[in-house]
Amino acid sequence: MPPKDFRVFERRRRQPWGVLALAMLSGLAMMRNGVDVNLGPPQPAAAARPVARPVAPPPAASNGLEPLPYAPASRVKIPAIQVAAPIMDVGLDENGWVAAPPPEDPNLAGWYQNGIAPGMRGTSVLVGHVDNTKGPAVFYGLGSLQKGQHIEVERYDGRVAVFEIYGVEVYAKDNFPGVQVYADNGEPELRVITCGGGYTRARGYDGNVVVYARMVGSR
């Protein structure tokens, strides 16, 4: 259900990413209950070199493009990989990590509700499982996305923020560049994150796939 008063969340949304980065990394590192599905989920080309490094500059902001006001996220669509999934609010769990959506529901994404709302100036973050014990989950195909493709995030105010992908990377979980991933570049941006890299039954996934995108329109 959407919050009754967006303004209550507006007062809480600005949590320092420098602190949250480590917490979110730890939380996503727990999303490792993968199963052997053929050769595993698609991996970005960067999978051959999963190290922290600069990402290509995002596309220039559109002239006259105004950030959207605060409103919680409700649904994400990624046409290129046939994702059309509801979004639930996630916060921190009892261990101080960002909670992942329940793994039992394979078609569910999570938005960190104490961060930036999609479409606002700043970097908003969506997370989701790559698979569960039964097979592929919502972000199974995330690593196959390419620059120039679009992600749409519906919001509870009826607006839709449209983002263009400018980078798809995979980072080793023990070398996750939190400051780079969550940085505020002064524009409305989006990060979509799931597990990736190599997988073993003993350790699970050894990295995270991160999609970098910037808002290019709204409706």
At 110, which amino acid appears?
A: G
pLDDT tens-digit map of 177-200: 888 898 898 899 999 999 888 888
Q: Supply the pLDDT for residue 43.
A: 80
pLDDT tens-digit map of 84-101: 999 999 987 775 566 789
DSSP bridge pairs for 172: 207
Arithmetic mean of pLDDT over the chain: 80
Q: What is the mean pLDDT of residues 35-39?
A: 48
Q: Which fold has domain 6-54+64-218?
A: Sortase; Chain: A; (2.40.260)
Contact by Cβ (8 Å): 128, 27: no
Neighbours of 42 (CB within 10 A): 16
Neighbours of 215 (CB within 10 A): 27
- Mean pLDDT: which of 4-8, 58-62, 148-152, 199-203 is highest? 148-152
Give 4's DSSP letter: S
pLDDT tens-digit map of 57-69: 666 655 568 999 9
Q: Supply the pLDDT for residue 58.
A: 65
3-state secondary structure of 9: helix
| Percent of all residues in the chain with a pLDDT value above 90, rounded to a whole number | 48
